[in-house]
């Protein structure tokens, strides 16, 4: 299913496990390919795109300042700083690993390297911090519901990248794990800054 280039040493157990994992996941997800599902996945993947997350990361603090919500000024500055540094780290990792994109049916065009998935990693970093701040500092009872919806959306963004043929499942899993590690650090920093 996939063509792997310039990866681990030939015959390595790790490489074989990763290949098997990627093949099984893509084989399962590709069974759902249809025009309607493709339209849905394209819409979902847009929510994790660099452009959309950048737009939100700039718009949210701008609204906080326009509405003069002084209580949330530091929140407003933390959000774009977090995603900017996280996205930069993702690009550094891509240059270090230089993993080619999958050689499967591509339902969208995507340039650059594959590992780790920027959509998956940046979605966890951005939406994850938003959900954390909402639960930690929000007062409305529905905040847990919104945080749950955000979690499902992030998972769907990751799945959309595999479905669309632009990432291996292991790219997405790595993006989630690295993004979660980054998020834990960002949450701790936010707790200190927002005390």
111-116 CB contacts, 8 Å cutoff, 24+ apart: 114/166, 114/167, 114/168, 114/171, 115/168, 115/170, 115/171, 115/174, 116/90, 116/171, 116/172, 116/174, 116/175, 116/178
**H or E stretch covering 160:** helix 143-163
Supply angle C-alpha 90, 179, 131, rounded to 5.
130
Q: Residues near 149 by Cβ (< 8 Å), separated by ≥ 6?
A: none
d(CA 82, CA 186): 7
Whether 75 sits among the annotated catalytic residues: the reply is no
| Phi-psi domain of 9 (left: phi exceeds 0; alpha: psi -120 through 50; beta: other) | beta
Cβ neighbours of residue 71 under 8 Å, at least 6 residues apart? none
Q: Give the active site residue among 75, 119, 137, 140.
A: 119
Residues noted as catalytic: 119, 167
């Amino acid at each position: 299913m996939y063509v792997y280039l310039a990866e681990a040493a030939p015959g390595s157990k790790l490489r074989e496990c990763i290949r098997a994992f990627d093949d099984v996941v893509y084989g399962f997800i590709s069974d759902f390919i249809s025009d309607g599902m493709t339209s849905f996945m394209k819409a979902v993947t847009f929510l994790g795109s660099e452009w959309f997350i950048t737009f939100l990361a700039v718009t949210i603090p701008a609204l906080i300042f326009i509405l003069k919500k002084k209580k949330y000024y530091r929140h407003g500055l933390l959000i774009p700083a977090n995603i900017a540094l996280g996205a930069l780290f993702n690009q550094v990792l891509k240059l270090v690993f230089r993993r080619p994109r999958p050689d499967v049916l591509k339902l969208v065009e995507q340039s650059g390297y594959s590992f780790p998935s920027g959509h998956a990693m940046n979605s966890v970093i951005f939406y994850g911090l938003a959900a954390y701040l909402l639960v930690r500092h929000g007062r409305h009872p529905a905040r847990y519901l919104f945080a749950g919806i955000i979690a499902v959306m992030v998972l769907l963004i990751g799945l959309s990248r595999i479905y669309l043929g632009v990432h291996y499942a292991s790219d997405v899993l790595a993006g989630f794990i690295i993004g979660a590690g980054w998020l834990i650090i960002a949450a701790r920093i936010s707790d200190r800054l927002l005390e």
